[in-house]
Chains A and B, each alone.
Chain A
Amino acid sequence: MTEQSDPIKLLTIVGGGTAGWMTAAALAKLIRPLGVRIRLVESDAIGTIGVGEATLPHIRFFNERLGLDEAAFMAATQATIKLGIQFRDWARKGDAYIHPFGDYGRDIGETAFHHLWLRAAQAGRAGRIDDYSLPIVMAEQARFGPPATDEHSVMSSFSYAYQMDATLYAKFLRDFAEANGVERIEGRIVATRRCPESGDVRAVRLESGVEVEGDLFVDCSGFRALLIGQELGVGFEDWSDVLPCDRAVAAACENAEDPIPYTRSTARDAGWQWCIPLQHRVGNGYVFASAHLSDDEATATLLAHLDGAPIGDPRVLRFKAGRRRKQWAKNVVAIGLSSGFLEPLESTSIYLIQAAVTNLVELFPERGIALADRDEFNRVMDLEYERIRDFLVLHYHATERDDTPFWNYVRTMTIPESLTYKMDLFRRRGVIVHYKDGLFLHPSWLAVYLGQRVVPERCAPLAEAPSDEKLDAFLGDLKGVIQSTVAALPTHAAHLRAFCPAPPAVA
């Protein structure tokens, strides 16, 4: 085998948790066969956050690339199916909508479906747009069947993700990574050794005195940002002016009924509450702005709004929205919370880990890291962060709520110009700004715009083309196909029982 000039031989991941073990698992599968020794340093004494229990459909491609068996993975992580996210009380109290992982209706020629729907809805003849989305109807009826690949089938119009226990996922991936040759080193890091010339990190020293060297380090140390922040001094870009929530109180509770195949996000006085049903329990949390609410108040509100009996004590997490100014500096790549934080409103934490790992594999460097690799990684990750930020801010800003100081703040705050532009264009004429590389595609923006009551003043001129009768028949057919398709599917609970029953929870 012809080797290129100076390959990386030693790669060290600092920190376990979701980010650490996702990175370890992927690199074990994809990079270790190149002859790279991969080690992961973590300490049992340091807790992990378990950044998110809700995922986006991209996770399936990550798992597929690793060759994970879906049923085994779901059983091991107490996973349920996720078809979208429901938002309650966001634009107005009493509102509810689902952001689905899939399309709305079908376009006619050059006319996007939502314009046709707008025209009919304005005349009072179309009903909810939700009824034209297969994943929404599936979610509402708590039914599920796998997507079809035949693009003529309505079952090809959606995708799905999982709701899972992130701590169990990390454990599952740890087993996978270790089986694939990743060496786990137990210990607390107390010091770092740098190269005096280049400034690169050469090794981390553990409490035991042992040094773990590396040609390349991946900083998965969480908010502490041990290498990228503390050691290399890369600063943090604070986005809390547009994303003011800075705390969360989390608590699990028992399942009162069969788990539903979607995540619920309910707006509260100073933030929002998540509800993520897993097979063995329900994850809950209240994300809030400490400027408007105390920890105790938030905890009380959360406990008052659980669907089942609480399990364990609530715990409070602190964070700040924003991103590391450079995701990759010297020979240190930040992945996970060390690279930045965006609240889990749209389940992007695990996605951002996955994007970073994928980009690292695509741009895997050599020793004496090429500037071009680092630059390109930082450019694509910056884009990811910015585009997600805009999408999250939309949820808060596009609201009519004026019942608390928190909602008054987010409703009236100054938002990024890039978002103002997108919202104006949609409001004026229903056009969705399209990017080649954006994480959230047309249906996602559409769902949140309409759900947040950003309603176009006019529909596209071409939507006026079909006659009323034709349009009614078209819409009626779509709705009917979706209804009959969903009615024939098994329930979500039945699917879980048949496909991936998890062992009962160990107390």
Chain B
Amino acid sequence: MSMTHAPPDTQTRIVVAGATLEGWLAAASLARRLRPLGVAVILVPTDADAAPPPALATTPGFRAVHDALRLDERDVARFCGGGFRLGDEILSNDRSFARAFSPAGQACNGVAFHQHWLRARRIGASPPFDNLSVGARAAREGRFAPPAPDADDLAGSYGFGLHLDGARYQEYLRRCALHYGVTEAAPLAEASPDGDGRLDALRLADGSTARAALYLDATGPGALLLRGLAPEPLRPAPDASGCDRVAWSVADAPENLSAGVIRMESRGYAISTPLPGANVVGFVHRADATDAETAARRCGAASADDVTLVSFANAWRPRPWVGDCVAIGRAACDLEPLAHPLPRLVDAALDHLVELFPIAGDEAGGRDEFNRRMDETFARFAEFQALHHVLSAYPKEARAASAPLERKIEQFRSRGRVVLYDHESFDEASHVALYLGFGLLPDRYDPLADLTPPDETAALMTKTRDAVRALCDAMPSQRDALLRMRLLNAERA
């Protein structure tokens, strides 16, 4: 066995370029998680740093990120003007449904619940699908209570993420990073690659030089560092909607704080993130087909002067790690804002990076595997976004162009089977909610569902609907919940 103990090399330095949301998140997380190794994390702001998105929404899985930083999610919500996120309400044509972090019902007699529902539908005994999911119903009604811990029934069946103010969250992460010993250096003057596809050093505005074993490019879509290393061209999302710009505006806080709203329209879609003090609304569209004025009106603003326009590539880097530089966040993957890719994709990248961190200066083995995993993660996320467009046929250009997405849709349409691949960000329940919500009704249901007597199937639906209703009725509105938990001041509310 020729294992090298390499404390000198691992007690090394990471430079994070970009005082951005993902930059501070990566810096804080790596400083905390790699602290036992004595890794020093230095953050270098750049001129090209991307502004934070106006609002952020996380998934239940993101809680692990806060746990690792020893942050209580209630504190995060309080300090970042946020609240709890149960899901999204989706409006499309004459349809409206919620997609939550919560399955509908529970499997019965060895058959998935949604297969029973499909059968109940044929015998005319099916309540709306999202009335059978605690998370979905509470999301639509704007209620909130945390799930019962360790309950294996409906009371524990749902999860929640957070809605956060983007700028405040970035500031919160900055403080957290500094608390864990991250140093903020002088701004970047020049990154000069050494010609061998490595950075080796950054020249800073104060004349000093920052050297590190690993550089993270967290500057945003411009990918300031990685750009100089001749990375592979961006890979466009194959099933994309064709949208390439979002107009953001801020409106008054909505009644419902538990669910964002996604409204599919012919020219794109509107997406909103509710905060206790504001509603952040974006209209996602094609810049060449919808001008800024029109986009502004679509997101509720008076004129183009009242919105922030942000373009995105709807593409990712198939190899975000080149040489000694790892692109993270929007520098690696610049997708449309649907389903909030940023926090999830940074979270995944940090997990893989910690596992595949260079050992004793040897980054090659970890790099290939990191790139393989991230490329798949990006592809699966983009696929989930594309599902919204393809299933709603809004915008009209949307279509399933990639074989993996075609298979997912074909299998569900054929018999309600949910196909999931490696490195998915969303689970089976999220997919089922989307398929059925958009009205993709399978041609057939699982024949085994026929073995349950029809009246039993009907009773299963009624029982589930009533149990879900009772659980939701017992929850306060989220605004009341936030007040009770003292996450909101009465005067601000």
Contact = CB atoms under 8 A, between A and B. Distances in A.
Given A2-B122, A2-B454, A458-B6, A436 B421 contact: yes
Contact of A4 (B7, B10, B355, B444): B444
Contacts of B5: 119, 122, 464
A57 to B, nearest CB: 20
Q: Most chain-B CB neighbours within 10 Å: which of A373, A434, A456, A457?
A: A457
B369 A110 contact: no
Interface stretch (A171-179, A406-414, A424-432, A481-489): A424-432
B234 to A, nearest CB: 25
Contacts of B362: 428-429, 458
Interface string A369-391: 01011001001000000000000
A5 B414 CA distance: 13
B4 A458 contact: yes
A421 B407 CA distance: 27
A49 B1 CA distance: 43
B3 to A, nearest CB: 4
B1 A465 contact: no
Interface stretch (B31-39, B176-184, B387-395): B31-39
A462 B35 CA distance: 9
B414 A372 contact: yes
A462 B36 contact: yes
Given A372-B411, A373-B415, A461-B10, A34 B448 contact: yes
B146 interface: no
B454 A1 contact: yes
Nearest to B365: A428
Nearest to B452: A1
B491 interface: no
Contacts of B3: 118-119, 122, 456-459
Q: Most chain-B CB neighbours within 10 Å: which of A362, A366, A460?
A: A460
A47 B373 CA distance: 48
A417 to B, nearest CB: 12
Given A122-B1, A458-B3, A458-B6, A2 B415 contact: no
A464 B7 contact: yes
B445 interface: yes
B357 interface: yes
A466 B368 CA distance: 28
Contacts of A376: 407, 411, 417, 419
Contacts of B424: 436
Contact of B422 (A4, A424, A435): A435
B123 interface: yes
B450 interface: yes
A314 interface: no
Contacts of B2: 457
A459 B34 CA distance: 15
Place the interface of chain A in its size category: 35 or more
A431 B355 contact: yes
B357 A461 contact: yes
Contacts of B465: none
Given A34-B451, A457-B4, A362 B34 contact: no
B450 A34 contact: yes
Contacts of B355: 110, 431, 460
Interface in B345-367: 351, 354-357, 359-360, 362, 364-366
Contact of A429 (B365, B421, B443): B365
Contacts of A372: 410-411, 414-415
Contact of A33 (B357, B415, B446, B451): B451
B447 interface: yes
Q: Most chain-B CB neighbours within 10 Å: which of A31, A362, A366, A458?
A: A458
B445 A4 contact: yes
A435 B421 CA distance: 9
B37 A464 contact: yes
A429 B367 CA distance: 11
Given A7-B447, A118-B3, A462 B414 contact: no
Interface in B20-71: 33-34, 36-37
B120 to A, nearest CB: 10
Contacts of B369: 425, 431, 433
Contacts of A190: none
A474 interface: no
A381 B411 CA distance: 16
B167 interface: no
B365 A436 contact: no
B122 A464 contact: no
A7 B4 CA distance: 63
Contact of A462 (B7, B37, B446): B37
B37 A465 contact: yes
Nearest to A112: B355
A462 B357 CA distance: 9
Interface in B329-355: 351, 354-355
A466 B451 CA distance: 55
A384 B5 CA distance: 38
A30 B448 contact: yes
B366 A431 contact: yes
B479 interface: no
A458 B447 contact: no
A462 B354 contact: yes
B450 A363 contact: no
B186 interface: no
Contact of B450 (A1, A425, A466): A1
B377 to A, nearest CB: 13
Interface string A462-496: 10111000000000000000000000000000000
A121 interface: yes
Contacts of A436: 420-422, 424
A296 interface: no
A455 interface: yes
Contacts of A464: 5-7, 10, 36-37
B450 A3 contact: yes
A464 B8 CA distance: 11
Nearest to B443: A370
A34 B365 CA distance: 52
Interface string B88-129: 000000000000000000000010000000010011000000
Contacts of A236: none
A241 to B, nearest CB: 26
Contacts of A366: 444
A30 B421 CA distance: 27
Interface in B432-490: 443-448, 450-451, 454
A73 interface: no
A379 B356 CA distance: 30
Contact of A461 (B37, B122, B411): B37
A372 B2 CA distance: 51
A364 B10 contact: no
Contacts of A370: 414-415, 443
A425 B36 contact: no
A75 to B, nearest CB: 27
B475 to A, nearest CB: 30
Q: Most chain-A CB neighbours within 10 Å: which of B3, B37, B369, B446?
A: B3
A264 B215 CA distance: 49
Given A2-B119, A110-B33, A372-B410, A429 B366 contact: yes
Contacts of A361: 448
18 contacts: A2-B119, A30-B448, A33-B451, A34-B448, A34-B451, A110-B354, A121-B1, A363-B415, A366-B444, A376-B417, A376-B419, A431-B365, A437-B422, A457-B4, A458-B6, A462-B36, A465-B36, A465-B37
Q: Can you list the 6 inter-chain pairs with the closest CB atoms, starting with the nearest? A: A465-B36, A428-B365, A372-B414, A122-B3, A461-B10, A458-B359
Given A2-B123, A421-B368, A464-B7, 10 more contacts: A3-B450, A110-B354, A373-B415, A433-B369, A434-B422, A436-B421, A458-B4, A461-B10, A464-B10, A464-B36
Interface of A: 1-5, 7, 30-31, 33-34, 65, 110, 118-119, 121-122, 361-364, 366, 370, 372-373, 376, 379, 421, 424-425, 428-429, 431, 433-437, 455-462, 464-466
